[in-house]
Structure 1
């Protein structure tokens, strides 16, 4: 097995004259869950899109080593409204594996439903099932729970934890939620001034310290 699932070396990305990522290095081990924090505009989504190969509208340089088997989950489930749930899950892959993936995310029996018939949490479950059928070695998640209510977020945290324990992909989760990062990740990374300013095991991550690194004051 390779020593890393992702290796980013000297990554620089700029929009017009504004440098968003500046000579950034990052390594993610196989099966490791990394949470990426940062203030708004710090480059979190830019880094994720670079790793996913979706940053065609920016200029930059650097080296990226990424597995071929990559799946991406966004804050918006991005389901196609004219396709039923099972067809959304199996879009672009060989039919026949979608039903098992839907059962894994707790949606057995909803294969013929339309996306509009699902709640926001159920739509995100479908999005996770769509990732699962690709058997990814790397799962990239860009604030996938940001639009959900608190109770649904907790349920989705439990589901993601269970799926990651079973399938063992490397995970890069972009989030603005410090508590979510500490709860879910093996490791927490904070972007500061276009580079990684903090990188530590989640078990050693202190909420107050992380908030301070993000420039957020904590009331006494």
Structure 2
């Protein structure tokens, strides 16, 4: 079970993520205000919300990274927890394989690191320096570094936000394939409604520090943008975010 600071208790079974009455405050402002949320083992949940709604604050609480934030609540998360950020955060003075296995416990970390790099399509690049990689390749290394630890919970904070459109599509396919193989619970923070629909089993919308909507994505794979069901779900999510889909369509004409 992950350890969390700042007034949280963490005494729930490790099979799922369970959050109850979570409050996280900056000064006199409650960014998260009595939030409740559950994630099943192996479930992929996308988290949407307006800027400043508390999405990254929730991820930091789950990762145990918000020690300077005051708050209370109950939070249970399976061990280990891995985080993928928008910036790959590779150590520039270490080669790719060394970045993947940094701090890795257990038997034969080098072999496991090589296998993880092969999973993300970077076999043979073990001795490459991070600066020699494209942005998409750096994020592949970041995924390998996270998944080689076989996390019970994978937290992803807009990991593809800085990538071009084609690279993002490739990374979506890769992430779904890796998650189906390793089966962590996943909480993905994104501003992209389409990314949420393509990747997630459920989409949760954060509003005023609480869950404003919790919507299952009951669409067959592959999820085609042109289908009526896709368009209906997309419109509903935009409305939950306070965006008028009609105005979007008019501006595109």
Runs of 5+ in structure 1 lacking a partner? Answer: none
* Other-structure match for 1:148: 163
* Other-structure match for 1:70: 81
Superposed displacement of residue 164, structure 1: 0.7
CA contact (8 A) 1:72 1:139 kept: yes
Stretches of 4+ aligned residues off by more than 4 angstroms:
none
* Other-structure match for 1:170: 185
Larger Rg: 2
Two-structure CA RMSD over aligned residues (Å): 1.3
Superposed displacement of residue 4, structure 1: 4.5
* Other-structure match for 2:243: 216
Superposed displacement of residue 175, structure 1: 0.4
* Other-structure match for 1:40: 51
* Other-structure match for 1:88: 99
Superposed displacement of residue 3, structure 1: 8.5
Partner Cα distance (1:35, 1:50) in 2:
16
Runs of 5+ in structure 2 lacking a partner? Answer: 1-12, 220-231
* Other-structure match for 1:125: 140
CA contact (8 A) 2:85 2:156 kept: yes
Normalised by the size of structure 2, how large is the TM-score? 0.84
CA contact (8 A) 1:89 1:98 kept: yes
User: Could you report, residue by residue, the CA deviation over 1:146-194 in whole angstroms, capped at 9, with x for unpaired residues?
Assistant: 0000000000000001001111111000000000001100000000111
Comparing 90-99 with 200-209, which one deviates more in the overlay? 200-209
* Other-structure match for 2:60: 49
Could you say what secondary structure the match of 1:206 adopts?
helix
Normalised by the size of structure 1, how large is the TM-score? 0.97
Pairs within 5 Å for 1:111-122: 111-122=126-137
